[in-house]
Amino acid sequence: MKRFLRVLAGLGGLVAIAVVVLINTTAGQNLLLERGISAVVGQAAPSYDGLNVFVCGSSSPLPAPGRAQACLAIITPEHYFIVDAGAGSAVNLGLANMPSDRLDGVLITHYHSDHIAELPTFNVMTWASGHQGPLKVYGPTGIKPVINGFNAAFAQDRRYRTLHHGLDFMPAEWGVMEAVENPMEFAMTFGDMTITSFTVSHSPVAPAVGYRFDYRGRSVVITGDTIVTDRLAAAAKDADLMFSDALSAPIVSAMVDAAKESGRDRIAHILVDIQDYHASVTDVAQLTVDANIGMTALYHLVPGPRNVVMENIYKREFQGNMLLTEDNMWFTLPVGSDAIDVH
């Protein structure tokens, strides 16, 4: 036994020496670099079965370490859509090796900055990946001036990229986003996918919509920013999975008190104001039960929890099948099943 332990210790020492050599010599660094880059760049795009949702952003504008602003990706073997484009979300999409070349479009719920800020980055990602034609951005009334503004602001960026990479590689006209304006209550069909937009209440922000995705018997609802209303309940009725805006009243109230005590009156004022146009966790929990929703995942968290105590404050109001999202979570809804796989 002692001899075995001595041999094991000797092998461990040799491994440690090998690691030191690899990390601290030119030859070793080059070898590790080659292997690492090959693993990343050579990684094939993953395959997708059923209806899948990727959380590319789970936070509101209130700062939350490790969380990008609102963004959800919907992907099936035939379809790929993104709902909202909050700051930081493009990094998560890029690291997840999402197939930007086949992005069908971005759907915008409303025109707050934390839902549109990353659109230019999404556009460059798709354009550079070989996406055929302009990136389509869908939204209610108001989408055209938003997209026209971004296109104008990034005109020189597009010109530089086309000059650098060539017209054949990055055609200039494919780098200009295309705005697609729809009514607030509207349905679009793409093969086996039906996307239905519905009115939500985020007053004074208007228009504001949510989206429901139905694909081969599975369904996902994304509320966008809203309070709970009868229209939302009707749109979410019997959905397999709902991603809901969620405000924790106890946490926000504590933040208001702390801001007032420290003399940060403007912050306190904003924190008071936001409480009347986001859905409280209590109301979302009741909606989950009343609308017979299979699972409710809270995203656009106001505020994004920073520790287990804040997470538990959110959870103490849960009813039914509910969970808090984190960036980079996956939800898979297999066709022909009621299951929802979360990982």
For 22, 70, 146, 253, the CA distances from 225, given in Å and listed in that order, are 50, 10, 18, 19
Q: What is the pLDDT of residue 37?
A: 73
Instruction: Tell me the pTM.
Output: 0.93
Taking only the tens place, the pLDDT of each residue in 162-186 is 999 999 999 999 999 999 999 999 9
Share of the chain above pLDDT 90, in %: 85
- What's the mean per-residue pLDDT of the chain? 94
Closest CA to 43 of 99, 124, 126: 99
Inter-axis angle of helices 119-129 and 155-165, to 10 degrees?
20
**Euclidean distance between CA atoms 281 and 231, whole angstroms:** 18
Dihedrals phi, psi of 116, to nearest 5 degrees: -130, -10
Q: What is the pLDDT of residue 113?
A: 98
* Structural tokens at position 159: 């010109």
Report, in angstroms and rounded to the nearest whole number, the Rg of the chain calculated over CA atoms. Answer: 23
Residue 202 confidence (pLDDT) above 80? yes
The greatest distance separating any two alpha carbons of the chain, rounded to the nearest whole angstrom, comes to 78
**Residue 4: band (very low, low, confident or very high) from pLDDT cuts 50, 70, 90:** low
227 C-beta neighbours (distance < 10 Å), count:
19
User: CB-hemisphere CA count at 13 Å for 197?
Assistant: 21
Residue 315 or 3, more confident: 315
Residue 316 confidence (pLDDT) above 70? yes
Residue 6 confidence (pLDDT) above 80? no
The C-alpha angle with vertex 64 and arms to 62 and 70, in degrees rounded to 5, equals 70
* Structural tokens at position 200: 């939500």
Strands (E), 12-135: 51-57, 71-75, 80-83, 105-107
Q: Which amino acid is at 46?
A: P
For 25, 35, 73, 145, the CA distances from 32, given in Å and listed in that order, are 11, 5, 33, 48
